[in-house]
């Protein structure tokens, strides 16, 4: 299988007054062509930093300390900014969480969809036709009229559909969806999930789907990567990871989801403790301080150990070894 | 549990839909939209009522109306035997009816320390806090934070910690009722459990009555005794939490419950996917307001308005409710 996106040993530091904040440490990630890969993790796990690094749109104080990001074999880290500008929006595109802030409020939908096609050497009429066609494809009623609408005239669900239409308009190789359903209601959420599945089949792009909602990941993705405090701690096919979580963090996270419990729980599970200070991350396993299973061996850094086939976890106890 | 502590009858809240000359020119009934359109419900002493619904259904408006933050256009609200619709002494009522706002960090003043924030209710209500530092430390401890947090500022708190400070503030004056607007919004799942446990523990300890507003369906059965489902500013179904979640009778409730993605890749439920979106308040559908999206709507649903009809502990507003045996 060809890989659309390969992230290898990506390490990103932010310069802060307290020293280098190690937001991502040695993250590996593959998104095979035509697949939907989910990233799940809580606040502070480095999801946003990862997206910024993939797009090479990092804040001033961020620095890629090591690692590489390749899109269909082409290295993005250190690529000339002209080349990157060429790729953004055409080869990689993003759907953000809040469609109100990712659309320009003072330009019509049609104008914004024209602007995305600035590289295309086609007539204005053709650009308009393509834009309307795509709006229809994402399920907006009356797409031609919608081209003249401003973002505030649309509802939240419609705005997110417009944002998705814009993201797939150039038929990107990789679509990054950053919590695209978090700002939406439950009944709209399932509509958007179905839409993404459908578009993926039709356009065939790879999707990197970022969410903190385990239910959505379980529903949509082929593979899932679990991140914690800047590390990928577990990865595998969705069914394997959810059925036999092999990193204690994943197991806890799934256990904490109240959607799993069908009867009233007297005491809801939680993960006590806080994220470690990433300016001086503890040596050894990053999850050690909050883990029930922590033992002496956890003072040394675990390496990813295979559970089955393509399923691995970064834990000394994973894979049945010492458990 | 027998005595209602809060009683709402036909509560209507309106917002102006037009402004200026346009409003003067428009017919009287087009000048306003009804964000709440005849809400009647009772909250019993010591119970937890969860109000669920999607954005725009009027959940937050309802909480704000109860707490007097929005004027009523009609209807009555009774708190114990005080008529909240007749210009009551809000200062005194808000001491007994605390509000927890949605955004845990945003609802705390960034310039105040946790100590000042927790003591603020005492200052506002002119109450003595005893030994202030001790009181603040005790309130924080009840909310599960130790005294080290006293001198921190809100930006130094995580979302869960800020939420705990919000809980401490709400409980500072020993209220009888707490209105919690989205208590888990913005919290990670690993922290969410802790906050809900805290709310449950406090409720058990103080015999608190809580009204929780949420769109997080997963937490409902763990915190609520009863739930009220809202759609377009009306209650479409209300009743005990397990009954409603397991056997919803209103088609909207059924769709809402089935739309919730499950964290389990092996189970695939029959899902009712609703077409379209919630209509705008300015163009309410005729008859049953859910009929344009309803999968089981019949011809007369667009003509007749259904009433919220009580049967046993639950009530539903639908002409053709889903019956237990189908």
**Cα distance between residue A98 and residue A182, in whole Å:** 8
Compute the average pLDDT of residues B234-255: 93
Give the minimum alpha-carbon distance from B197 to chain A in angstroms, rounded to a whole number. 6
pLDDT, residue B91, reads 87
Topology alike, domains B1-46+58-86+227-261+270-326 and B89-224: yes
Question: Would you call A214 helix, strand, or coil by DSSP?
Answer: helix
Q: Which of residues 202-221 of A touch B (CB under 8 A)?
A: 212-219
Give the minimum alpha-carbon distance from A80 to chain B in angstroms, rounded to a whole number. 37
Compute the average pLDDT of residues B33-62: 90
Compute the average pLDDT of residues A294-318: 90
Q: Which of A26-35, B22-31, B111-120, B207-216 has the lowest mean pLDDT?
A: B22-31
pLDDT, residue A166, reads 93
Q: Per-residue confidence at B267, pLDDT binned at 50, 70, 90?
A: low
Handedness of CA A181, A184, A190, A193 (dihedral sign): negative
Q: Per-residue confidence at B268, pLDDT binned at 50, 70, 90?
A: low
**Cα distance between residue B298 and residue B295, in whole Å:** 9
Model confidence pLDDT, tens digit, residues A14-51 = 998 888 999 999 999 999 999 999 999 888 888 889 99
**Cα distance between residue B39 and residue A58, in whole Å:** 49
Q: Per-residue confidence at A94, pLDDT binned at 50, 70, 90?
A: very high
- Facing A185 at nearest CB: one of B54, B189, B222: B54
**Cα distance between residue B125 and residue A15, in whole Å:** 45
Give the minimum alpha-carbon distance from A45 to chain B in angstroms, rounded to a whole number. 11
Give the minimum alpha-carbon distance from B257 to chain A in angstroms, rounded to a whole number. 9
Q: Is the pLDDT confidence value at B1 over 80?
A: no
Domains annotated for chain A, with CATH where assigned, are: 3-91+173-313 (3.40.50.300), 100-171 (no CATH)
Give the minimum alpha-carbon distance from A5 to chain B in angstroms, rounded to a whole number. 24
DSSP class of residue B75 equals E
Contact list in A for residue B158 (CB cut-off 8 A) is 274
Going from N- to C-terminal start, the domains of chain B cover 1-46+58-86+227-261+270-326, 89-224
Across the interface, whether the CB atoms of B265 and A219 are under 8 A apart is answered yes
- Facing A43 at nearest CB: one of B159, B197, B218: B159
pLDDT, residue A122, reads 92
Compute the average pLDDT of residues A255-269: 81
- Facing B190 at nearest CB: one of A42, A242, A263: A42
Contact list in B for residue A186 (CB cut-off 8 A) is 54, 215, 217, 256, 259-260
- Facing B261 at nearest CB: one of A185, A215, A262: A215
pLDDT, residue A321, reads 52
Nearest to B175 by CA among B214, B215, B127, B130: B127
CATH fold, domain B89-224, is: Rossmann fold (3.40.50)
Model confidence pLDDT, tens digit, residues A183-222 = 777 778 888 888 899 889 888 899 999 988 888 899 899 9
Across the interface, whether the CB atoms of A257 and B218 are under 8 A apart is answered yes
What ipTM goes with this model?
0.77
Among all residues of chain A, which has the CA nearest to that of B194?
A: A270
Model confidence pLDDT, tens digit, residues B62-91 = 999 999 999 999 999 999 989 999 988 888
CATH fold, domain B1-46+58-86+227-261+270-326, is: Rossmann fold (3.40.50)
Q: Per-residue confidence at A68, pLDDT binned at 50, 70, 90?
A: very high
Compute the average pLDDT of residues B33-51: 92
pLDDT, residue B326, reads 47
Model confidence pLDDT, tens digit, residues B4-21 = 999 999 999 998 887 777
The verdict on B274 touching A (C-beta cutoff 8 Å) is yes
Q: Per-residue confidence at B28, pLDDT binned at 50, 70, 90?
A: confident
Compute the average pLDDT of residues B112-134: 90
Higher pLDDT residue, B265 or A142? A142
**Cα distance between residue B232 and residue A220, in whole Å:** 30
Across the interface, whether the CB atoms of B189 and A261 are under 8 A apart is answered no
Compute the average pLDDT of residues A245-251: 93
Higher pLDDT residue, A267 or A171? A171
Give the minimum alpha-carbon distance from A206 to chain B in angstroms, rounded to a whole number. 20
**Cα distance between residue A112 and residue A103, in whole Å:** 8
| Close Cβ partners of B262 (under 8 Å, ≥ 6 residues apart) | A215, A218, A219, A259, A260, B269
Across the interface, whether the CB atoms of A259 and B221 are under 8 A apart is answered no
Query: End-to-end distance of chain A based on CA atoms, in angstroms?
Result: 33
Q: What is the mean pLDDT of chain B?
A: 88
Q: What is the mean pLDDT of chain A?
A: 89
Percentage of chain A exceeding pLDDT 90: 55
pLDDT, residue A322, reads 44
Q: Per-residue confidence at B2, pLDDT binned at 50, 70, 90?
A: low
Contact list in A for residue B262 (CB cut-off 8 A) is 215, 218-219, 259-260
């Amino acid at each position: 299988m060809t890989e659309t996106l390969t992230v290898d040993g990506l390490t990103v530091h932010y310069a802060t007054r307290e020293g280098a904040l190690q937001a991502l440490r040695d993250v590996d990630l593959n998104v095979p062509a035509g697949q939907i890969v989910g990233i799940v993790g809580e606040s502070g796990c480095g999801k946003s930093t990862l997206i910024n690094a993939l797009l090479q749109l990092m804040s001033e104080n961020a620095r890629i300390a090591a690692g590489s990001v390749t899109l269909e074999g082409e290295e993005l880290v250190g690529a000339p900014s002209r080349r990157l500008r060429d790729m953004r929006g055409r080869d990689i595109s993003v759907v953000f969480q809040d469609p109100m802030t990712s659309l320009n409020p003072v330009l019509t939908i049609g104008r914004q969809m024209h602007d995305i096609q600035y590289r295309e050497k086609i007539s204005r009429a053709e650009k308009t036709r393509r834009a309307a066609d795509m709006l229809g494809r994402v399920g907006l009623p009356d797409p031609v009229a919608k081209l003249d609408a401003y973002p505030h005239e649309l509802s939240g669900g419609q705005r997110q559909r417009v944002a998705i239409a814009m993201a797939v308009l150039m038929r990107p190789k990789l679509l990054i969806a950053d919590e695209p359903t978090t700002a939406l209601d439950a009944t709209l959420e399932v509509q958007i999930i179905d839409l993404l599945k459908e578009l993926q089949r039709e356009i065939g792009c790879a999707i990197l789907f970022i969410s903190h909602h385990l239910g959505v990941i379980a529903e949509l993705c082929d593979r899932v990567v679990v991140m914690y405090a800047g590390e990928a701690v577990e990865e595998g096919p969705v069914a394997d990871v959810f059925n036999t979580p092999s990193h204690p963090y994943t197991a806890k996270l799934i256990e904490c989801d109240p959607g799993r419990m069908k009867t009233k729980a007297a005491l809801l599970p939680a993960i006590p403790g806080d994220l470690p200070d990433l300016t001086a991350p503890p040596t050894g396993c990053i999850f050690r301080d909050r883990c029930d299973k922590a033992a002496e061996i956890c003072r040394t850094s675990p390496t990813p150990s295979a559970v089955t086939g393509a399923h691995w976890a970064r834990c000394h106890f994973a894979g049945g070894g010492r458990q | 549990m027998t005595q209602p502590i809060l009683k709402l009858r036909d509560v209507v809240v309106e917002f102006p839909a037009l402004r200026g000359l346009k409003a003067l020119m428009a017919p009287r009934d087009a000048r306003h939209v009804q964000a709440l359109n005849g809400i009647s419900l009772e909250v019993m002493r010591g119970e937890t009522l969860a109000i669920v619904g999607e954005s725009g259904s009027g959940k937050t408006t309802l909480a704000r109306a109860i707490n007097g933050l929005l004027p009523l256009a009609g209807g009555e609200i009774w708190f114990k035997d005080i008529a909240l619709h007749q210009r009551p002494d809000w200062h005194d009522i808000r001491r007994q009816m605390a509000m927890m706002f949605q955004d845990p960090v945003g609802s705390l003043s960034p310039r105040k320390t946790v100590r000042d924030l927790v003591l603020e209710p005492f200052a506002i209500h002119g109450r003595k806090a005893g030994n202030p530092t001790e009181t603040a430390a005790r309130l924080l401890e009840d909310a599960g934070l130790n005294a080290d947090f006293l001198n921190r500022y809100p930006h130094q708190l995580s979302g869960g910690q800020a939420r705990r400070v919000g809980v401490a503030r709400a409980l500072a004056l020993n209220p009888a009722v707490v209105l919690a607007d989205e208590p888990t919004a913005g919290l990670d799942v690993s922290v969410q459990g802790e906050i809900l446990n805290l709310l449950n523990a406090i409720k058990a300890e103080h015999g608190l009555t809580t009204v929780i507003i949420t769109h997080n369906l997963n937490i409902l059965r763990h915190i609520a005794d009863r739930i009220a489902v809202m759609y377009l500013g009306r209650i479409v179904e209300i009743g005990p939490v397990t009954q409603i979640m397991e056997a919803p009778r209103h088609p909207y409730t059924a769709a809402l419950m089935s739309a919730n993605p499950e964290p389990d890749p092996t189970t695939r439920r029959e899902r009712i996917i609703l077409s379209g979106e919630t209509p705008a308040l300015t163009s309410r559908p005729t008859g049953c307001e859910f009929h344009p999206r309803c999968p089981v709507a019949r011809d007369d649903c667009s003509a007749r308005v259904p009433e919220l009809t009580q049967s046993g502990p639950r009530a539903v507003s639908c002409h053709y409710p889903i019956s237990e045996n189908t």
